[in-house]
Amino acid sequence: MLIQTLLGDLSILTSLRTGWLHSLRAGLWSGAFEPRHDSTIGELGPASFSGYSGLRDMITWNTPVITGSRAVMQHGELLWHHDGGPDVDMVAGYYVVDTDGTLVWAEVRSAGPVLMQSATDVYRLVPAYTIRSEF
């Protein structure tokens, strides 16, 4: 049985931090999409509120740390603002794609959808990437 150590997990995240993770982009979706292991980008509907600026580059990953039984690395805060225009949307979660547009991961907002309808509405996101050896 292969046992990967916590320091091994940390080393992997450190390598990903300066490479592959910098190629990712995050966006918001609305609608009834439920992420699965075999989900594709074509299954979700991007958010469409006034001022939605689409995908954001994910290039500000923090140094990974060990938290409990996993290695964790957070990204800096990403923000999307409603610009006060007429288009309203309920944002259900966020998704991440690679340079080819392939869906890498998606997450439903655990506190429920966010209504984006006025110039004071902001969707805040602090993505995290974790590794945990299961044994």
pLDDT at residue 44 is higher than 80: yes
Task: Kindly report the average pLDDT of the chain as a whole number.
Answer: 93
Chain segment 95-130, per-residue pLDDT in tens: 999 999 999 999 999 999 999 999 999 999 999 999
Cα 94 to Cα 22, 59, 91, 118, 120, distances in angstroms: 17, 16, 8, 20, 20
pTM: 0.90
Quickly tell me which residue has 């450190």 as its tokens.
14
Two structure tokens written together for 128: 């995290």
Chain segment 9-19, per-residue pLDDT in tens: 999 999 998 88
Q: Residue type at 124?
A: R
- pLDDT band, residue 135 (cuts 50/70/90): low
